Amino acid sequence: MRLSIPLFEDYSLTIADRSTGDGEYPTKRLQKGLLLMHDGRELAEEGVGFGVPILKRGMQTIFPGGMELTERRRGPLRELTAIFEVNLVERLARTGAGNLRSRSLYAAKDSLAALHRESPRLRGPLAAASAALRRTFGWQTTYERAESTATLKVTYAIDGDSGTVAVAVDTAGLRGDGVTEVVIMNEQGARHFDRYEDSDGGALQGGQIGTWNEVSAEKASFVSSAHGVAFSLGQAKGARLHRGRELVGSRLAWSGFGYSLPPTLQAFDYDLTIEKVV
């Protein structure tokens, strides 16, 4: 199933129960959420879209690999329900040699990824080291089925005229499942969304934005200078809000926000706004 929801002017949101991401990126294997379109052109690049759940078990990250999608009309609203199957883990592969199987390698990789998020001063050297190792050993990112999987229900209530999306996430089924953190991602493409702004007066461009920084302002936005559109989120009870942007060749190209919440929170909701900007 593939659905398209018109917004204002020549903008729309699309969602499909099969990945429709740009074929050049490794994340084409992941299940996407709501993707922003402008005049028929997808603006997500590597980004997973709006309202996509990701799970953490310690330092391991588990991504969605499929969904069941249903729709109903509720007055002027389009209400979509997505049952995400969160069942994929990131792996490294060499061409012709398949995925690497070293547990110690992935433990080190997960530890360095956590260090990258938590230590801004080390991000440059860590990114350079990662790129050098990938070139030297011919490593590429791929995804395979995780040993442990979970399902999460996400509901999107979309008002196309106003460009608002009310997102509700049901996390009740995760209790006792070994999950240590839930992250709800809201991403589009890094080449399209190149500017960050917030209600505290913050304004950052391109590489100034950082890859994973906590947002303290009440409201924050990513702006597309080229397309004249922005998407915005606010602080939500029970969660911490982070921003990030990465642009690395044909491997990484995302800009967006993540809500980080504990797995003990049984339900979580927030509003996302898409609007034209001058």
CATH number, position 200: 2.70.98
In percent, the amount of the chain with pLDDT more than 70 equals: 81
Question: What's the pLDDT at 47?
Answer: 95
Range of weakest confidence among 90-104, 111-125, 145-159, 219-233: 111-125
Question: What's the pLDDT at 59?
Answer: 87
- Please count the other Cβ atoms lying within 10 Å of the Cβ belonging to residue 254: 23
Q: What average pLDDT does the segment 198-220 reach?
A: 96
Model confidence band, residue 172 (pLDDT cutoffs 50, 70, 90):
confident
Please write the tens of the pLDDT for every residue from 238-270.
Answer: 999 999 999 988 789 999 999 999 999 989 999
Please write the tens of the pLDDT for every residue from 77-92.
Answer: 999 999 999 999 988 7
DSSP tag of 32:
P
Q: What average pLDDT does the segment 62-69 reach?
A: 96
Q: What average pLDDT does the segment 146-172 reach?
A: 94
Model confidence band, residue 124 (pLDDT cutoffs 50, 70, 90):
low
- Domain of 35? 2-276
Q: What average pLDDT does the segment 111-125 reach?
A: 61
118 conformational bin, left if phi > 0, alpha if psi -120 to 50, beta if neither:
alpha
Q: Can you tell me the distance from the alpha carbon of 205 to that of 197, in angstroms, rounded to the nearest whole number? A: 9
Residue 21 in contact with residue 33, Cβ under 8 Å?
no
3-class secondary structure, 111: helix
Question: What's the pLDDT at 108?
Answer: 63
**Verdict on whether the full-model pTM lies above 0.85:** yes
Model confidence band, residue 138 (pLDDT cutoffs 50, 70, 90):
low
Q: What average pLDDT does the segment 81-107 reach?
A: 76
Write the CB contacts of 230 (distance below 8 Å, at least 6 apart in sequence).
197, 221, 222, 223, 224, 274, 275, 277
Residue 168 has pLDDT above 90, yes or no: yes
Q: Can you tell me the distance from the alpha carbon of 60 to that of 145, in angstroms, rounded to the nearest whole number? A: 13
Question: What's the pLDDT at 141?
Answer: 77
Report the number of distinct structural domains present in the chain.
1
Question: What's the pLDDT at 249?
Answer: 81
Residue 217 has pLDDT above 90, yes or no: yes
Residue 128 has pLDDT above 60, yes or no: no
Work out the mean pLDDT of the chain and round it to a whole number: 87
Residue 171 has pLDDT above 60, yes or no: yes
